[in-house]
Amino acid sequence: MSAKLAYHTNCWGPLGGHPVGVTSVKDLFYQTFGDMNLAFAEIAAAGYQAVEMFDGNLVDYAGEMGRFRGLLSDHGLQLLAIYSGGNFIYPDILEEEFWRIEKAAGSAAEAGATHFVIGGGAKRAGGVRPGDYARLGDALDRAAEIAEKHGLSAHYHPHLTTMAETPEDIREVFAHTRIGFCPDTAHLAAAGGDPAALIAEHFDRVTYVHLKGWQRKPFAFTPLDRGDLDLRPTLDLLRDKGFDGWIAVELDAWADPAAGASASMAWLKDNGLGGSAV
């Protein structure tokens, strides 16, 4: 398998949404409240080639993309992807959400990214209503069109707490949209799925993968070298399928982000990946 390795910057601080989004839906970008330059330095030191970021952390550099690209270049990294999301099923706020998607995609393209990852699909308090999956599918197609207009490949990321948790949920989403699939091994497993089997089932949509460890009790996401999720079947499946795209390691929170990144890189090397020649 000729894969390339990236790491998400979301572990270098508390995760949340931009606080202005409480009263302004259009500004509800994802955010890691931490030092992105430190994240770049420690991700590069661990041996990764590129980074994925939340949309809000990138939009923070609006008007300063030259400086942003310089920071990445100083560490020998590239921006691979950004992550955005939305509710996508409420007509009254949909245009506000797409204002944000448009701004995020434009910023990503200006910064040199090639992938646009989208999560979401609100789970209502009373459960999914008839038509919700069709509404989500239409929104994801529109998001994909925006990404493609900016030269980005668009991918849907199934996620706990959304309408796309279980294997059945994911099939229903993909019955209503043409968007690509960014599987996240930890989220798929925590919702009762088999990550390798789901990647195989939807492989025609997969050009970008999130690898993440997971433990059941207490519930936590982990570096790749620990937890209850055996990731080797996923790597074997990707090898068997001849996957040659990017793999991004993700870890939502860890007390020592640099140590988490290094532990996952050591596991990748032990399993036949890692370094600049992959």
User: CATH number, domain at 50?
Assistant: 3.20.20.150
- What's the pLDDT band for 2 if we cut at 50, 70, 90? low
276 domain residue, yes or no: no
Does any domain span residue 198?
A: yes
**Cα–Cα distances in Å, from 210 out to 21, 120, 121, 207, 251?**
27, 16, 19, 11, 10
Residue 277 lies in a domain: no
Tell me the pLDDT tens digit for each residue of 8-38.
Answer: 999 999 999 999 998 999 999 999 999 999 9
- How many domains does the chain fold into? 1
- Within-domain flag for 220: yes
* pLDDT bracket for residue 1 (50, 70, 90): low
> Position of tokens 């910064």?
111
Give residue 80's domain range.
Answer: 4-270
Residue 63 domain flag = yes
User: Given pLDDT bands bounded at 50, 70 and 90, which one contains residue 274?
Assistant: confident
**Which amino acid, one-letter code, is at 256?**
D
Confidence class for position 156, pLDDT limits 50, 70, 90:
very high
Residue 278 belongs to some domain of the structure? no
Whether the per-residue pLDDT at 159 is higher than 70: the answer is yes
Strands (E) in 9-152, as ranges, are 15-17, 30-32, 50-54, 78-86, 115-120
Report the pLDDT averaged over residues 72-87: 98
Residue at 205 is within a domain: yes
204: DSSP letter? G
The answer to whether 278 and 4 have CB atoms below 8 angstroms apart is: yes
Tokens 């990748």, residue located: 268
